Amino acid sequence: MKRLVIFAVAATVIVLIGFFNHYSYASLDDTTTAVTPSPSSVNSGAHITFTVIVSDNSNPTTTPGGNVTWSDGSSGTFNPTFCTLSSGSCTTSYTPSANSPTSLTITANYVGDSAHSASFATSSLTVIHSTTTKVTPNPATLSSGSLAFTVKVNDTSGSPTIPTSTVAWSDGGLGGTFSQPSCTLSSGSCQTSYTAFTNSPSAVTITANYAGDSTHSASFGTSSLTVNQIHSTTTTVTPNPSSVNSGSQITFTVTVSDSHLSPTTPTGNVTWSSGNAGGTFSRTSCPLSSASCTTAYTAATNSPSSVTITVTYAGDSAHSGSAGISSLSVNVLHRTTTTIKPNPATLPNNGIITFVVKVNDSSGSPTTPLGIVSWKDGNTGGTFNATSCTLSSGACVSKYTASGNPPHVITINATYSGDATHMSSSAASQLSTNVFHGTTTTVTPSSATLTKGSSVVFTATVADTLNSSATLIGLVSWSDYNTGGTFTEGGCALAANHCSITYVPPTNPSGSITIVASYAGDSYHSGSSGVSSLSVATTPPPFTTPPPSSTPPPFTTPPPSTPSATGQNNSQGNTVPEFPVALIILLTAFASLIAFYRIKPAKI
């Protein structure tokens, strides 16, 4: 009976325990826990806030209470480490540790309360590791060409991983170029080459911008670049275009300019060249002064009509070389020769002499020179009736009067200044100041016209300027100034103060021909010259009876001498008597002397 009572009590207790246990489990509502944000990320060393919400899944619902604990499975810190639900939620702030892995699971554990069951939730957290970006070389110097830069991106966390993604390069908008404006990291590194802009400043900051990846933060690095760039230059020559006569001189100026945005003054030397055109420079190289220098160029007498003047700047330590040109047009002038007659000359006793100057075109295609001939006597004190004369048919004359006490020899200079198509030239005559009787030489005809292939007879008449009846002896030489015609003889001897010669002009004369008859003088008479102008017609002139040339005209006493258009007096002196008169005077003087000595004793 006692055992039966014990068994009944035990059974009752078991039933009661089961009843109460069944009642207890049946009264706890199921819950759901959620964590936000999820997924999420945070930079290493930074913090992130998590919020947990616990929901009652029963019906009707009640608001869960109690606490939620937090964990990361690592060594990060929560603040607070647990939170108490308020209205079913609470928050905490999480900071990953310095050596945190990049991937974490944040767990929120709800412990339940008297009416709600426990539950938990997780959030995937990515920890973004901080990085550093380093550019090498730093500092850097670029003198020419390009320079290579290398970037290295490092994970600075306690559990580093290798950064990936790209790096973008920049020079701050200064116009330089990169071989790769963006490069992709390989093992955390990549490279590019930089070329500075032509007008780059001397200081440039090179920046490498790392964009970051899913587990690494962005960062950047810089390098301080000094650009010792050679500035480009431009070389300018003035005048350009230019022109000059052959044989004449022109001055050129060169200016070298720095074309950089921050220009400096170029220094150094420039060299000049005419491309082997035959001309000469006053200096073939000149140093720059304030970026400029000058030279004088003399075109060759046989210069081509177009010459390129080139100046080359060699550059200096800060400037590149460059070159400039001037297009020079050369007016190629015909060469000339100038002759003076008489040469040599003797000054008459009246101290006046006439010179004839002739200017010839000595080129392959001759034309008649024009312009002015100037006269000088070397400052010996004499005077010219005109210090210059204008050419007519390539010739002109000037009368020279010596000073009262001239030197024994005077050099008479005739200088032709040239014209638009002819070069200048000059000639000299040696004038002896010994006193002789002056003479005039006249050529007849003074002007003549004949057809091609025919001939003309010229007669020279020489007269004593002080005694028109005096008889002169000596030779007369003839010249056409190398025009190409022929004389029957090179000269003729005076007979009764006359002599004649036949002249045949050249086949194709370039213009009028100047015929010069030059009397050489004799023991008592100075030389003189006369000229005639000859034109060659294309049609024959009317027939006229030519003057006789076989015998000189009968001698008659000539009238007093008057200067003609083709011959001028160039000396004066005392009359030299003819031989019969001189003999009579001599006999008369001798007879008078004998009579004088016979009479003298009787008077004593």
What is the tens place of the pLDDT at every residue in 523-580?
Answer: 778 899 999 999 887 655 555 555 554 444 444 444 444 333 334 444 333 333 444 4
**Same domain, yes or no: 349 and 419:** yes
Average the pLDDT over 217-222 and give the result: 96
What is the tens place of the pLDDT at every residue in 79-124?
Answer: 999 999 999 999 999 999 888 888 999 999 999 999 999 999 999 9
Where residue 7 falls among pLDDT bands split at 50, 70, 90?
A: low
Query: Which of 133-137, 194-198, 401-405, 547-551 is predicted most confidently?
Result: 133-137
CA 33 to chain centre: 87
Contact by Cβ (8 Å): 127, 101:
yes
> Residue 330's CB: how many other CB atoms inside 10 A?
25
**Is 288 part of a structural domain of the chain?**
yes
* Cα dist from 116 to 110, 111, 121, 345, 494, whole Å: 10, 9, 16, 152, 165
Indicate the range of 56-60, 270-274, 584-588 predicted with least confidence.
584-588
Average the pLDDT over 466-484 and give the result: 89
Instruction: State the pLDDT at residue 556.
Output: 44
**Is 590 part of a structural domain of the chain?**
no
Beta strands in 274-392 (DSSP E): 280-281, 285-287, 292-298, 306-313, 322-331, 336-341, 345-348, 352-361, 372-376, 383-384, 388-390
Short-list 101, 115, 185, CA closest to 151 = 185
- Residues 444 and 446: their CA atoms lie apart, in Å, by 5
Instruction: State the pLDDT at residue 158.
Output: 85
- Residues 462 and 452: their CA atoms lie apart, in Å, by 29
> Residue 195's CB: how many other CB atoms inside 10 A?
16
- Residues 80 and 61: their CA atoms lie apart, in Å, by 28
Tracing tokens 């230059």 back to the chain, one arrives at 233
Instruction: State the pLDDT at residue 34.
Output: 96
CATH number, residue 35? 2.60.40.1930
Instruction: State the pLDDT at residue 595.
Output: 46
> Residue 441's CB: how many other CB atoms inside 10 A?
26
Q: Does 378 score more than 90 pLDDT?
A: yes
Instruction: State the pLDDT at residue 550.
Output: 45
Where residue 289 falls among pLDDT bands split at 50, 70, 90?
A: very high
> Of 406, 432, 458, which residue is a domain's last?
432
- Residues 277 and 391: their CA atoms lie apart, in Å, by 32
Contact by Cβ (8 Å): 130, 213:
no
**Is 375 part of a structural domain of the chain?**
yes
Instruction: State the pLDDT at residue 543.
Output: 54
Tracing tokens 């060169």 back to the chain, one arrives at 254
Instruction: State the pLDDT at residue 145.
Output: 83
Structure tokens at 593: 């002397």
Average the pLDDT over 274-282 and give the result: 94
Average the pLDDT over 205-223 and give the result: 95
Instruction: State the pLDDT at residue 546.
Output: 53
Tracing tokens 């030299």 back to the chain, one arrives at 576
Instruction: State the pLDDT at residue 452.
Output: 80
Short-list 561, 545, 534, CA closest to 458 = 534
For 531, the domain range is 439-536
DSSP 558: P
**Same domain, yes or no: 124 and 36:** yes
**Is 38 part of a structural domain of the chain?**
yes
> Of 414, 432, 450, which residue is a domain's last?
432
Q: What is the pTM of this model?
A: 0.42
Indicate the range of 46-50, 129-133, 419-423, 547-551 predicted with least confidence.
547-551
- Residues 509 and 518: their CA atoms lie apart, in Å, by 22
| Residue of higher predicted confidence among 243 and 451 | 243
The amino acid that residue 106 corresponds to is I
Mean of per-residue pLDDT scores for the chain = 85
Q: Kindly report the backbone phi and psi dihedral angles of residue 151, in degrees, each rounded to the nearest multiple of 5, phi listed first.
A: -115, 140
Tracing tokens 């306690």 back to the chain, one arrives at 158
Structure tokens at 154: 């490092």
Instruction: State the pLDDT at residue 261.
Output: 79
Instruction: State the pLDDT at residue 548.
Output: 53
CATH number, residue 360? 2.60.40.10
Q: Does 601 score more than 90 pLDDT?
A: no
- Residues 282 and 289: their CA atoms lie apart, in Å, by 17
Q: Three-class SS of residue 161?
A: coil
**Is 545 part of a structural domain of the chain?**
no
**Is 589 part of a structural domain of the chain?**
no
**Is 119 part of a structural domain of the chain?**
yes
The amino acid that residue 416 corresponds to is Y
Average the pLDDT over 290-308 and give the result: 94
Short-list 209, 377, 376, 234, CA closest to 292 = 234
Instruction: State the pLDDT at residue 385.
Output: 94
**Same domain, yes or no: 119 and 141:** no
> Of 397, 432, 467, which residue is a domain's last?
432
Q: Kindly report the backbone phi and psi dihedral angles of residue 291, in degrees, each rounded to the nearest multiple of 5, phi listed first.
A: 70, 20
Instruction: State the pLDDT at residue 198.
Output: 76
Q: Does 159 score more than 50 pLDDT?
A: yes
Q: Does 22 score more than 50 pLDDT?
A: no
**Is 359 part of a structural domain of the chain?**
yes
Q: Kindly report the backbone phi and psi dihedral angles of residue 253, in degrees, each rounded to the nearest multiple of 5, phi listed first.
A: -125, 135
Short-list 365, 369, 353, CA closest to 425 = 369
**Same domain, yes or no: 342 and 389:** yes
| Residue of higher predicted confidence among 598 and 6 | 6
Where residue 468 falls among pLDDT bands split at 50, 70, 90?
A: confident
**Same domain, yes or no: 115 and 135:** no
**Same domain, yes or no: 120 and 146:** no
**Same domain, yes or no: 184 and 269:** no
**Same domain, yes or no: 461 and 516:** yes
- Residues 561 and 179: their CA atoms lie apart, in Å, by 101
What is the tens place of the pLDDT at every residue in 425-460?
Answer: 999 999 988 666 789 999 999 888 888 878 999 999
The alpha-carbon radius of gyration of the chain (Å, integer) is 62
Instruction: State the pLDDT at residue 12.
Output: 64
**Same domain, yes or no: 269 and 343:** no
Structure tokens at 380: 């010996």
Instruction: State the pLDDT at residue 43.
Output: 87
Where residue 318 falls among pLDDT bands split at 50, 70, 90?
A: confident
Q: Does 392 score more than 90 pLDDT?
A: yes
Query: Which of 16-30, 269-283, 349-363 is predicted most confidently?
Result: 269-283
The percent of residues in the chain predicted with pLDDT above 70, rounded, is 84
Contact by Cβ (8 Å): 84, 66:
yes
**Same domain, yes or no: 360 and 306:** no
DSSP codes, 461-519: EEEESS-TT----SEEEEE-TTSS-EESSSEEE-BTTEEEEEEE--SS-SS-EEEEEEE
Q: How many domains does the chain fold into? A: 5
- Residues with Cβ within 8 Å of residue 293, at least 6 apart in sequence: 253, 254, 270, 286, 287
Where residue 8 falls among pLDDT bands split at 50, 70, 90?
A: low
Average the pLDDT over 408-430 and give the result: 93
